[in-house]
Amino acid sequence: MRKLILSFALILCAALSMRAQQVCFWTNEYKTLPLRIYVDEQYVGDVTASFKHAPEFGEEGTLTLNLTPGTHEIVAINAYGYEYDGWPGTLRVDEGNVSMVKIRRDNFPVYTVLPYVVYDPYWYDLDYGPYYYHHRYHSAPGGSVSEDYSDGDLNTEYASSLIVGAASLFITGMVGAIVNWNYPDYRFPYLGVGVKTEYLPGINALRNVAKIKGRIGNYGGMSFIAEGGEAYYFSENVWEPTFAAGFGWCYGAFEVDFRYQLPYLSKHFLASLDFSYDWFLTKHFALDFNLGFALSGTRTGTDIYWNRWDGIEIPIGLGVQYAF
């Protein structure tokens, strides 16, 4: 009888030790929701809302799972197919504990190649990538309402400050150009052609373009730029056409230019304020350098194009040109 009771107790303990424990996944990533969660190579659900602070366990927009005690492999994929790298890749669930697992923003560096990650037609478009889902912050603990970043765009205040600062610098360049418009300089005006290589660290892309540049005025002047070529996006391992046009104000060989990369034939676009310098080695041959501040974005969808300004760029470029 004693052996029977002992055996029953061991079986009961074993059963209790395998009892599922609750784990709650949440995120402060607002740009690329929903986040798909895979446990042991199985899709288990989505995290659909972003929170500035840790939410209540099981709050709407989080993902709550019942997992058996032990070690589990976990993977998170954002709405654009990029894989989360902010954790070791495994999750240890202990008997009697509940866990809050945070998925931190801006930790999705590499497009996933996992064979068990499958995109369904409601989430992923085969031509342009995943559809973007509208989302909103839920209330933070204590009843305070977190800030809303509708459409996954950049922080509105941050982007507005950047635009206001860029406009101020552009206007300053215009005033300097007009004041010195008639001051003579042997290098200007001209029409030039050349090539340029430019790196965009925010989206990890390299642009190789041919360009045409016109410069009117004298020591103070105005420039017009058109460029086209190809861009390689390292994180996506893809080449795409790239075209841009712009204009700017000049003070000697220094310039402040506004440039826009057209959102056609490519799903990426760019609006940049560039500071550049033409270093004339001879009367006609020059090296040109540019460093800028820019907003970058991504176009998604097939029938309706949602233009999302979702990144900050610091374009760095080097080129050569011949001035006629």
The separation between CA 15 and the C-alpha centre of its own chain, rounded to angstroms, equals 47
pLDDT at 151 over 50: no
User: What are the tens digits of pLDDT across the range 63-115?
Assistant: 999 888 888 999 999 887 889 988 888 888 776 677 889 999 888 888 888 88
Residue 248, beta-bridge partner list:
223, 257
> Which pairs with CB-CB distance under 8 Å and at least 24 residues apart come from 109-114?
109/82, 109/85, 109/235, 110/82, 110/83, 110/85, 110/235, 111/81, 111/82, 111/83, 111/235, 111/236, 111/237, 112/75, 112/77, 112/81, 112/82, 112/83, 114/38, 114/41, 114/75, 114/83
Burial letters for 223-248: b for 16+ Cβ neighbours within 10 Å, e otherwise? bebbbbbebebeebeeeeebbbbbeb
Between the CA of residue 38 and those of 68, 120, 123, 239, 297, what are the distances in Å?
Answer: 15, 15, 16, 30, 28
If pLDDT is split at 50, 70 and 90, which confidence band does 203 have? confident
With contact defined as beta carbons under 8 Å apart, do 310 and 152 qualify? yes
User: What are the tens digits of pLDDT across the range 31-74?
Assistant: 788 899 999 999 999 999 999 888 999 899 999 998 888 889 99
Residue 317 CA to residue 23 CA, distance in Å, equals 47
Residue 295 CA to residue 308 CA, distance in Å, equals 10
Q: What is the pLDDT of residue 244?
A: 92
If pLDDT is split at 50, 70 and 90, which confidence band does 17 have? very low
If pLDDT is split at 50, 70 and 90, which confidence band does 121 have? very low
Q: What is the pLDDT of residue 16?
A: 47
Average pLDDT rounded to a whole number, residues 282-300: 85
Instruction: Find all residues with CB under 8 Å of 302, minimum gap 6, and list them.
Output: 125, 127, 128
pTM: 0.52
User: What are the tens digits of pLDDT across the range 236-290?
Assistant: 788 889 999 999 999 999 999 999 987 677 778 888 889 999 999 998 999 999 9
3-class DSSP assignment, residue 82: strand
Longest dimension (CA), the chain: 111
